[in-house]
Amino acid sequence: MSRRDEILDVAVAVLEEEGPDALTMRELATRMGIRAPSLYKHVRDKDDILAGVQERALIALAQHLAAAGPGLAGLADAYRSWARAHPRLYEVATRRPLARERIAPGVEAAAAAPIVAAAGGDAHLARALWALAHGLVDLELSDRFPPGADLDATWRTALRGFEPPPSPTRS
Amino acid sequence: MSRRDEILDVAVAVLEEEGPDALTMRELATRMGIRAPSLYKHVRDKDDILAGVQERALIALAQHLAAAGPGLAGLADAYRSWARAHPRLYEVATRRPLARERIAPGVEAAAAAPIVAAAGGDAHLARALWALAHGLVDLELSDRFPPGADLDATWRTALRGFEPPPSPTRS
DNA sequence: TGACAAGGCTAACGACGTAAGCCATTCTGG
DNA sequence: CCAGAATGGCTTACGTCGTTAGCCTTGTCA
């Protein structure tokens, strides 16, 4: 494993354990047993690290979505549960502009694939679904909903508009 | 106008003109013709300023939404157009945890009111609509959609799931 | 063996938020 | 009308941040 990858490992760990404010060059260096300026032998700057973390977050999210339960509800569940399990990673994955130049091609597509599939290939619908899920998660993670709100119910309501029309099953 | 309000005016101006990185205590002070430490006579800390800016942003957004055109489409248009006209303000309005203690009561409700109305009073539906709009705007503002994507069409698709069922008009 | 790359190090810079404490002006109550 | 307090500036300074410059050791290979 390259030294750069080690740094990214540590960065992810710091982020998840202590939050974004603790993610300083000096803290990273300390955890690696070196001094802050030495990091620059392996990494362009702090933004480079963030881009690497973003890439890893997208990959992890993509994997989680790929293993989602069936249906739109399963996908939505997977999306929300991953974001709640890794709120800081979700933040760097979505809040910063996508570093398209620094991120391996295909990562973006891989993360999008399960959603596009759920949308039956309709790109606009896929984006709408993504935005809906992202909006719900983003607002939840930054505590914008009134405390005590029943967000499970909100999700169900939100997805109702996008469910395929109920196939008339015999009753 | 209180000195604090002047500071907030300047903060909004800096934010809109030069972006969040330029929003430093020293820059604010310079624009007001004083020194940075003097700001602390009127403001608790930088976070206090951000909370004030957040409050103003929410009020402005609420006013814009209240003046929206008719229907869900009108409301959606108003939401998106305000966010695109004031992307940095939209950011502080939504990305930071809501400083409920520091913000005048009612502001939150006022911003929510037009959406709740459009949802016919259904709180879950209102949150879903808000999340959808926020998600679309947030992803657009941070350049997460593929360049060149037709976002107008995406919005139309997104809202389709929430439109009231078409009343059967004579044709 | 000697050049060179890799990867550490120290020292330091400038920007940031902010605390401490001083001083002039202005307001206010006896 | 004046004493004292409140107001709102100021300078100085601290600690933290990202980052640069330049040095030195170690391992590799011609």
Q: Answer whether A131 touches B (CB < 8 Å).
A: yes
pLDDT tens sequence across B141-169: 999 999 899 999 999 999 998 876 656 66
Q: Is the CB of A40 under 7 A from strand D?
A: yes
Domain B58-160 belongs in CATH node 3.90.25.10: no
Q: Helix/strand/coil (H, E, C) string of B46-80?
A: HHHHHHHHHHHHHHHHHHHHHCCCCHHHHHHHHHH
- With pLDDT > 70 as the criterion, what percentage of chain B qualifies? 95
Residue numbers in A near B152 (CB within 8 A):
none
Measure CA of the first residue to CA of the last residue in chain A; give whole Å. 58
What local confidence, expressed as pLDDT, does residue A130 receive? 97
Of B68, B59, B80, nearest in space to B137 by CA: B80
Domain spanning A56-160: which CATH class is it, in words? mainly alpha
CB-CB under 8 Å, A145 with B127: yes
What local confidence, expressed as pLDDT, does residue A165 receive? 61
- Whether B69 shows a pLDDT value over 90: the answer reads no
CB atoms within 10 A of CB B83: 23
Distance from CA of B91 to the nearest CA of A (A): 10
Range of lowest pLDDT (B47-51, B99-103, B144-148): B99-103
Q: How far apart are CA B35 and CA A83, in angstroms?
A: 42
Between these two residues, B97 and A151, which has the higher pLDDT value? A151
What local confidence, expressed as pLDDT, does residue A97 receive? 86
- The encoded tokens of residue B138 equal 């947030």
Q: Nearest chain A residue to B145 by CA: give it.
A: A127
What local confidence, expressed as pLDDT, does residue A168 receive? 64
pLDDT band at B80 (very low <50, low <70, confident <90, very high): very high
- The encoded tokens of residue B152 equal 């107008």
Average pLDDT across chain B, whole number:
93
Alpha helices for chain A (secondary structure H): 3-18, 25-32, 46-66, 71-85, 87-95, 107-118, 123-141, 151-160
Collect all residues with Cβ–Cβ distance below 8 Å to B78 and sequence separation of at least 6: B64, B65, B67, B68, B69
- Whether B171 shows a pLDDT value over 90: the answer reads no
Q: How far apart are CA B32 and CA B138, in angstroms?
A: 32
Of A57, A59, A67, nearest in space to A107 by CA: A59
Among A125, A132, A144, select the one facing B135 at the smallest CB separation.
Answer: A132
Which residue reads 């169900």 in tokens? A156
What local confidence, expressed as pLDDT, does residue A125 receive? 96
What local confidence, expressed as pLDDT, does residue A167 receive? 61
Residues of chain A under the 70 pLDDT cut: 164-171
Q: How far apart are CA B78 and CA A115, in angstroms?
A: 27
pLDDT tens sequence across A40-67: 999 999 999 999 999 999 999 999 999 9
For an interface test with A, give the residue of B58, B80, B92, B132 to mutate (most A CBs within 10 A): B132
- Three-point CA angle B13, B15, B16, nearest 5°: 70
- Whether B85 shows a pLDDT value over 80: the answer reads yes
Q: Nearest chain B residue to A91 by CA: give it.
A: B95
Q: Domain residue spans in chain A?
A: 1-43, 56-160
Helix or strand or coil: residue A139? helix
What local confidence, expressed as pLDDT, does residue B170 receive? 59
Long-range contacts, B101-109 (Cβ 8 Å, 24+): B102/B48, B102/B51, B102/B52, B102/B55, B103/B51, B103/B54, B103/B55, B103/B58, B104/B55, B107/B55, B107/B58, B107/B59, B107/B62, B108/B58
Q: Answer whether B152 touches A (CB < 8 Å).
A: no
Instruction: State residue A110 phi and psi, 5-degree precision.
Output: -65, -40
Distance B24 CA to C17 C1' (A): 9
CB < 8 Å from A in window 100-129 of B: 122-125, 127-128
Residue numbers in A near B98 (CB within 8 A):
142-144
Average pLDDT across chain A, whole number:
93
CATH ID of A1-43, from 1.10.10.60, 1.10.10.10, 3.30.420.40, 3.60.15.10 = 1.10.10.60
Distance from CA of A33 to the nearest CA of B (A): 31
Nucleotide nearest to B34 (CA to C1'): D9
Q: CATH topology of B1-43 equal to that of B58-160? A: no
| Type of residue found at B140 | E
What local confidence, expressed as pLDDT, does residue A69 receive? 87
Q: Which nucleotides of strand C are protein-proximal, with an atom < 7 A from a CB? A: 6-12, 15-21
